[in-house]
């Protein structure tokens, strides 16, 4: 254990000297986490030694300790336990040291070691591939701090919900694994939140099949919403598009972003489109355009306008999709524009 409230408020000279020998930028640590340098006990040489054993060179060690200086406050035993734990899902130590360099804070959080281990084993049993679990460890480490029972209960709630909505037993495992891969933060919710959100959609006349469709399209982000926020977003869309409840439902199924984005985000994006001369009727026809930021929309309109494509009178379909989708559409419009108006291989009729 260590504390940020030190009595002496004097830097530990031994720590400073050890870090200096490793070419660590001490000024950087002073600026960001000076409290680390004030602790009475630190394991600079030992932690550096463990990292070097794993294949880290001097620059890598210095980089890791600059980014996460609190690493030196853990005992070698704690770090070796963490090393063995992460090796359960890493291909080799080369991959492990690369991950530690990129995400040192995730690796050096050792307080939840037993929970981390139990959750890694649970995810492996569930069928998640090791490369997905390593992604979780680095990008969503909080889910490993939960007791494994909490994560198991939440997965069971999702499985029950999937079956209750008409999903098949045969597809359930694939559905769960895909959902988790897309959004592991689902596991930070509670079973109650999941239940409330699903009930809200059913009360708003979405069929079980449509709710399942929304869950897949929203990649589980629906569980990070509340019935109140969803209700507000739906009312906002209904007022903008002047549509009936049934028409609104179809718009949401076409573009789940209408459910997910907050009113300020939707307002900003609508305003951006209207400024470009696009009508509300056009947006209603292709609501998916609201999934794009205003900057992306402006960039795409500019590119299309340069080809002589008038977005005000045409369809918004050409603006839609991922960057790859847009580039593909843009290429088609471009080649159509550049196509010669005569057929170069057609025979030429010459009058006598």
Average pLDDT of every residue of the chain: 89
- Interior/surface letters 76-114, b for 16+ CB within 10 angstroms, e for the rest: eebbebbbebbeebbeebebbbebbbebbebbbbbebee
List all residues 6 or more positions away from 49 whose beta carbon is below 8 Å from its beta carbon. 76
Q: Angle formed by the axes of helices 169-182 and 148-164, to 10°? A: 130
- The reported pLDDT for the residue numbered 327 is 87
DSSP 216-277: HHTTTGGGGS-HHHHHHHHHHHHHHHT--HHHHHHHHHH-THHHHS-HHHHHHHHHHHHHTT
Amino acid 345: pLDDT: 52
Q: What is the pLDDT of residue 339?
A: 58
Residue 42 has pLDDT above 50, yes or no: yes
Q: What is the pLDDT of residue 218?
A: 79
In sequence order, the 6+-apart residues with CB closer than 8 A to the CB of 248 are 234, 237, 238, 241
Q: Does 3 have pLDDT greater than 80? A: no
| Cβ neighbour number for residue 130 with a 10 Å cutoff | 14
**For 32-36, 75-79, 188-192, which range has the lowest pLDDT when averaged over its residues?**
188-192
Distance CA 134, CA 88 (A): 10
Do the Cβ atoms of 214 and 206 come closer than 8 Å?
yes
pLDDT digits (tens, 9 = 90+) for 251-310: 999 998 898 888 999 999 999 999 988 899 999 999 999 999 999 999 988 888 888 888
- The pLDDT of residue 325 is 85
Confidence band for 12, pLDDT divided at 50, 70 and 90: very high
**pLDDT bracket for residue 344 (50, 70, 90):** low
DSSP label at residue 11: -
Write out pLDDT tens, residues 206-224: 999 999 888 888 777 788 8
Element (H, E) at 177: helix 169-182
- pLDDT at position 352, please? 37
Q: What is the pTM of this model?
A: 0.78
């Amino acid at each position: 254990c260590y504390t940020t409230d030190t009595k002496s408020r004097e830097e530990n000279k031994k720590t400073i000297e050890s870090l200096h020998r490793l070419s660590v930028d001490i000024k950087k640590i002073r600026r960001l986490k000076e409290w680390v340098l004030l602790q009475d006990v630190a394991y600079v040489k030992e932690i550096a030694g463990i990292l070097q054993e794993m294949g880290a060179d001097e620059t890598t060690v210095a980089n890791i300790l600059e980014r996460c200086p609190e690493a030196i406050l853990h005992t070698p035993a704690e770090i070796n336990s963490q090393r063995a734990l992460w090796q359960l899902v890493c291909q080799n130590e080369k991959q492990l040291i690369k991950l530690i360099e990129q995400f040192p804070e995730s690796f050096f959080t050792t307080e939840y070691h037993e929970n981390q281990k139990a959750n890694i084993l649970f995810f492996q049993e569930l069928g998640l591939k090791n490369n997905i679990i390593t992604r979780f460890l680095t990008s969503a480490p909080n889910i490993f701090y939960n007791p494994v029972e909490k994560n198991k209960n939440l997965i069971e709630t999702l499985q029950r919900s999937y079956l209750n909505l008409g999903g098949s037993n045969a597809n359930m495992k694939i559905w769960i694994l895909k959902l988790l891969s897309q959004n592991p933060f689902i596991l930070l919710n509670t079973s109650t939140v999941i239940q409330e959100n699903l009930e809200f959609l059913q009360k708003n006349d979405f069929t079980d099949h449509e709710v399942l469709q929304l869950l897949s399209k929203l990649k589980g982000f629906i569980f990070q919403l509340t019935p109140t926020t969803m209700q507000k977003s739906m009312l906002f869309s209904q007022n903008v598009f002047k549509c009936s409840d049934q028409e609104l439902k179809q718009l949401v199924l076409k573009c789940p972003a209408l459910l997910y984005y907050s009113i300020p985000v939707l307002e900003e994006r609508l305003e951006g489109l209207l400024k470009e001369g696009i009508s509300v009727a056009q947006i209603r026809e292709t609501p998916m355009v609201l999934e794009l930021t205003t900057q992306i929309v402006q960039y795409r309109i500019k590119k299309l306008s340069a080809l002589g494509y008038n977005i005000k009178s045409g369809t918004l379909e050409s603006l839609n999709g991922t960057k790859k989708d847009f580039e593909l559409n843009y290429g088609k419009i471009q080649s159509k524009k550049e196509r010669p108006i005569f057929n170069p291989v057609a025979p030429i009729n010459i009058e006598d």
